[in-house]
Amino acid sequence: MSELPLPVFPWTRWQAPVEIPIGLGLILGVYLGAVVYARAMESKSRRVEPRRVVSFVGGIVTMFLALTGPLGDLAGTFLFSAHMVQHLILTLAVPLLLLFGTPGWLIRPPLLGSPLAPISRFLTRPAVAFAVFSVVLTAWHVPALYNLALESKGVHIAMHLMFIGASILGWWPVMSPLPELPRLSLPMQMLYITLLGMPMVVVAAFVTLADTALFPHYAAAPRLWGISPLEDQKIGGVIMWVPGHMAFLVAVTIVFFRWVREDAAGGSAANSGSSQAQDEPGPSTQPPVREAP
């Protein structure tokens, strides 16, 4: 008895649920409209650097590519491992690009206008932001909730929106564009990022080390490239475990070198001030360094 041929994945097919381009288009339109208006008004305080515009647009485009096209099809129908790639993009790449590209003046009115100001200040506290990110990431990978999301389009959309929202919140203490909702100091950022990566490691270990397939949706899906459901699950866990954790290590490294550079610059400035104080009598004062709460 001959074996059935393996299904062929249609790489050239591009499907995009209508709500995705409409939603992302509205967000991008508001952002670009505000940037163009600020430039037309010749407001120096509201001028947005081109690199930040590129970052925000890149975040929107990256989100579109992750949720639609071949990756969207693979993730939603065929492979758990593809879904993990999609989730890493939504929780690591997209939030950083959007936060870096967002000017503070654009989000100050909705976040700090009454009555949302107390809520914004509470949610962006490092401990709260960490807790929200950890709970959302962990809860949605509980097999019962994960399978529910795969079987229900509405629940699946809610899952992705919660991932993106919780990830933006989780990265806020590192990338905040608002001084009123401040970033942590650089040494504390390194500690915070290290802790922020721990929940992903725990979830990845749970998925990778499981000896049975946890997600019936993928177990019942047509098999691509001869990968069994358990192999696919272990590949997905390793993707979350290794590249996912490496992203946090890279972020810690970047912050570390920023800290070293700023510390060196501060030391040079202090030495310069000391030399001037020896030549010119009189007290020398330096502005205090504010430690973000």
Q: What is the pLDDT of residues 190-236, one digit of tens each?
A: 999 999 999 999 999 999 999 999 999 998 888 888 899 999 999 99
Check residue 1 and give its pLDDT: 44
Average pLDDT over residues 110-132: 94
Across the chain, mean pLDDT equals: 88
Check residue 208 and give its pLDDT: 96
Check residue 222 and give its pLDDT: 86
Q: Evaluate whether residue 158 is within a structural domain.
A: yes
Tally of structural domains, the chain: 1
The CA distance from 185 to 81, in Å, is 36
Residue 277 confidence (pLDDT) above 80 = no
Average pLDDT over residues 3-26: 79
Average pLDDT over residues 89-96: 96
Q: What is the pLDDT of residues 15-50, one digit of tens each?
A: 888 999 999 999 999 999 999 998 888 777 788 999
Q: Evaluate whether residue 72 is within a structural domain.
A: yes
Check residue 149 and give its pLDDT: 94
Q: Evaluate whether residue 240 is within a structural domain.
A: yes
Residue 291 confidence (pLDDT) above 80 = no
Please give the residue range of the domain that contains residue 71: 19-106+122-265
Q: What is the pLDDT of residues 163-188, one digit of tens each?
A: 999 999 999 999 999 999 999 999 99
Q: Which residue has the higher pLDDT, 171 or 13?
A: 171
